[in-house]
């Protein structure tokens, strides 16, 4: 009987382990000292979780320096209070398409969430200096938008939720959504005041967009969208002057 009992317990434990969906970023070698570049570790963690069928990658207190990260379907990023994803100061460290680069980027993916009470922070002034330096040496064209990265960019993605974070100091648009469906953007402080040419939230050919509980303090437009974008609802989204976005 004891053998049967222990065998049953082992089966149950294995069952629950196989469906474990929470992962601590530190287990993948991520270092929260604000200096170590975590791009490889974070990308490895996301790829691993995606291959396992999905789950949540948790970041706890600390500053996690990183370059561009490719988001994958069914993977949630949760930044807990006190956790900061700090963008690289180099314009070459971002990823994306031929027309758009970002710190966090996804294309042709679905069911992605970026949630929590943490911070996603760019280094706008330092990135701008690096861009101008590279342009003065003839390595890049300063006016090319791929060298003014967003903090977050989705292309042709479905079922996206970005909830409860602080986004600040973006060099380009803070958040960019192109050809996306079912997008929920909620409970955020979005603040970047350096570049009037870029928006807090940029939407192009998106449908099923819900905006709620946003405070957007940016130098450019709080919300920029094209005629094809269909916003389903806007609830309590304001700028510093108290006007709705």
DSSP for 58-79, written as a single string: EE-SEEEEE--EE--TTEEEEE
The pLDDT of 143-171, averaged and rounded, is 94
At residue 20 the predicted structure's pLDDT band, cuts being 50, 70 and 90, is: low
144 against 124, higher pLDDT: 124
Q: Give per-residue pLDDT as tens, 184-213.
A: 999 999 999 888 889 999 999 999 999 999
Give percent of the chain above pLDDT 90.
Answer: 81
Q: Give per-residue pLDDT as tens, 39-98.
A: 999 999 999 999 999 999 999 999 999 999 999 999 999 999 999 999 999 999 999 998
Average pLDDT, the chain: 91
Question: On the CB side of 168, how many CA atoms lie within 13 Å of its CA?
Answer: 10
b vs e for 12-31, b when ≥16 Cβ sit within 10 Å of the residue's Cβ? eeeeeeeeeeebebbebebb
Assigned CATH topology for domain 22-238: Pectate Lyase C-like (2.160.20)
């Amino acid at each position: 009987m004891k053998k049967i009992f222990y065998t049953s317990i082992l089966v149950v434990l294995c069952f629950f382990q196989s469906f474990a969906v929470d992962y601590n970023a530190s287990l993948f070698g991520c270092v929260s000292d604000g200096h170590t570049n975590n791009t490889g570790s974070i990308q490895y963690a996301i790829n691993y979780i995606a291959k396992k069928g999905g789950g949540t990658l948790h970041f706890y207190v600390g500053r996690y320096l990183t370059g561009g990260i490719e988001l994958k379907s069914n993977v949630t990023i949760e930044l807990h209070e006190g956790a900061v994803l700090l963008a690289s100061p180099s314009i070459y460290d971002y990823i994306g398409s031929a027309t758009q680069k970002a710190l966090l980027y996804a294309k042709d993916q679905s069911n992605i969430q970026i949630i929590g009470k943490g911070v996603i922070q760019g280094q706008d002034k330092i990135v701008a200096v690096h861009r101008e330096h590279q342009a003065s040496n003839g390595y890049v064209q300063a006016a090319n938008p791929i060298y003014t990265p967003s903090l977050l960019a989705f292309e042709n993605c479905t079922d996206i939720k970005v909830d409860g974070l602080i986004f600040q100091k973006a060099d380009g648009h803070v958040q960019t959504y192109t050809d996306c469906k079912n997008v929920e953007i909620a409970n955020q402080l979005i603040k970047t005041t350096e570049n009037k040419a870029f928006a807090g939230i940029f939407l192009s050919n998106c449908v099923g967009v819900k905006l709620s509980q946003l405070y957007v303090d940016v130098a450019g437009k709080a919300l920029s969208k094209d005629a094809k974008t269909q916003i389903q609802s806007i609830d309590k989204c304001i700028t510093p002057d108290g006007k709705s976005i």
